[in-house]
Structure 1
């Protein structure tokens, strides 16, 4: 999920919104979608007709149309003809651009919900008018939407890929290694540490691949490839159930095509197949 080319980010809510404005209505971690095939997101006209009330956050404009995030109460009912859907359930069901904006909307609304009060003095926070931030009126403490950087790395050994299965993965899915950056680390430091901690090997020749916003709930995935250097791959972390070297023609079940992990694996397989 990346910023769509035709999306212009914004912060300040316009004084007037047209009825065609796109609305991203979140109830906790579920988004409101019309119960049709394929699903549709509501417009401002739909939101007003349904009587939806909640905190509004301006996101910007997509193809000239204003985009607004709503956060409603956790006990908000499901309107007739609409559903509260997990964002993952809309993968490949909504256009990629709308998925990306929906992910942005979730991160903004979740930040708003979880940062209502100052972490220093407990005073209720106020939104800053000129940027996506909140400021404490008592002590001046400023907070911004939380973004958690995480590395992802696909390790190769000749024409083999090292893939792991985490205990949270469905069925027999395998993926590249991943982990969050710790304070004081560079992203490269994190790659070496996580690989060592999770599967017990050393890697070399790190190469940047791409990054992706991943709103589950607020990760920024930064993906690399690396070459095997030494050690015996084995599960060394409680989260890792299995780790194996796979040849290009015998790959296991892989993540879905929306995730950067699948893009990283597919691109690496294509590159190695040409060698």
Structure 2
């Protein structure tokens, strides 16, 4: 990785992830801005923190941190990261998610959590360093489990309090300190649904930048217990027959992939 805080040349074709709070600037056709800095309708970037975050399709990608919704970025508007996910462009969603996580990291580590002194950016890696007590921080990643549970020809689905109206998904939860992934899965399933599971099988993972999760995906089978949905975490939930599922997460999400694996379909 090149120095993260190196400035792009004016004639360098690049992708631009302009982040403000939890939103990203997309062009009028819901795409990431691409082009040379000198040709794009951007304000003077000397007023903003610019960070190199990697490459997308063999072109550099830069994070531009806009501390507020700046209307000087024209030719588009600020939107949720889910807009890219809904467009089924997983490559762009992934790099935009990285930008979102890096922005959150820098904004929440301006001061040292150990001694309270102002932190400084490390110029050869993405990290914040305290010169006073030598404490160094790196972008946070929060591990989560997500699991598709079957019972015969039925799938357990629940509606979370933050889900879109009418949409159901599979169970998920954060891993607590001292837990293995499998222990976290069994605990979360029991807490949220009141059941036990068996034949726990790992399949895949997916970064989930809301704001900095890493989802570890599993399938499992019902092993016992009556379904009891936790009203503090979920709105409702039930067993649904494979051929009669309610609205579920879109293609490209780890939840959809696990659902398709659990019911015997090939993920698209």
TM-score (norm 2): 0.91
CA distance, structure 1, for counterparts of residue 174 and residue 63 of structure 2: 27
Equivalent position to 2:106, from 92, 112, 115: 112
| TM-aligned CA deviation for residue 84 of structure 1 | 1.0
In the alignment, which residue of structure 1 is the partner of 2:150? 156
Equivalent position to 1:41, from 33, 36, 49: 33
Asked whether the 8 Å contact 1:148–1:218 carries over to 2, the reply is yes
In the alignment, which residue of structure 2 is the partner of 1:215? 209
Give the direction of change, closer, same or farther, for the CA distance of 1:75–1:244 in structure 2 (3 Å limit). Answer: closer
In the alignment, which residue of structure 2 is the partner of 1:140? 134
Over the aligned positions, Cα root-mean-square deviation in angstroms equals 2.0
| TM-aligned CA deviation for residue 149 of structure 1 | 0.6
Secondary structure in 2 matching 1:175? coil
In the alignment, which residue of structure 2 is the partner of 1:234? 228
| TM-aligned CA deviation for residue 141 of structure 1 | 0.6
Asked whether the 8 Å contact 2:7–2:50 carries over to 1, the reply is no
| TM-aligned CA deviation for residue 40 of structure 1 | 4.1
Equivalent position to 1:71, from 65, 68, 71: 65
CA distance, structure 1, for counterparts of residue 38 and residue 3 of structure 2: 21
In the alignment, which residue of structure 2 is the partner of 1:168? 162
| TM-aligned CA deviation for residue 257 of structure 1 | 1.4
Q: Is 1:91 matched with 2:85?
A: yes
Give the direction of change, closer, same or farther, for the CA distance of 1:94–1:39 in structure 2 (3 Å limit). Answer: farther
Secondary structure in 2 matching 1:225? strand
| TM-aligned CA deviation for residue 39 of structure 1 | 3.2
Secondary structure in 2 matching 1:91? helix
Which residues of 2 match residues 186-197 of structure 1 at below 5 A?
A: 186-197=180-191
- 208-217 vs 87-96, greater mean Cα deviation: 87-96
| TM-aligned CA deviation for residue 61 of structure 1 | 2.4
Give the direction of change, closer, same or farther, for the CA distance of 1:40–1:126 in structure 2 (3 Å limit). Answer: closer
CA distance, structure 1, for counterparts of residue 254 and residue 2 of structure 2: 26
Secondary structure in 1 matching 2:198? strand
CA distance, structure 1, for counterparts of residue 265 and residue 57 of structure 2: 35
Aligned length: 263
- 85-94 vs 61-70, greater mean Cα deviation: 85-94
In the alignment, which residue of structure 1 is the partner of 2:255? 261
In the alignment, which residue of structure 1 is the partner of 2:20? 27
| TM-aligned CA deviation for residue 12 of structure 1 | 3.5
Asked whether the 8 Å contact 2:84–2:90 carries over to 1, the reply is no
TM-score (norm 1): 0.88
In the alignment, which residue of structure 2 is the partner of 1:243? 237
| TM-aligned CA deviation for residue 103 of structure 1 | 0.6
CA distance, structure 2, for counterparts of residue 215 and residue 270 of structure 1: 28
| TM-aligned CA deviation for residue 194 of structure 1 | 0.3
- 43-52 vs 137-146, greater mean Cα deviation: 43-52
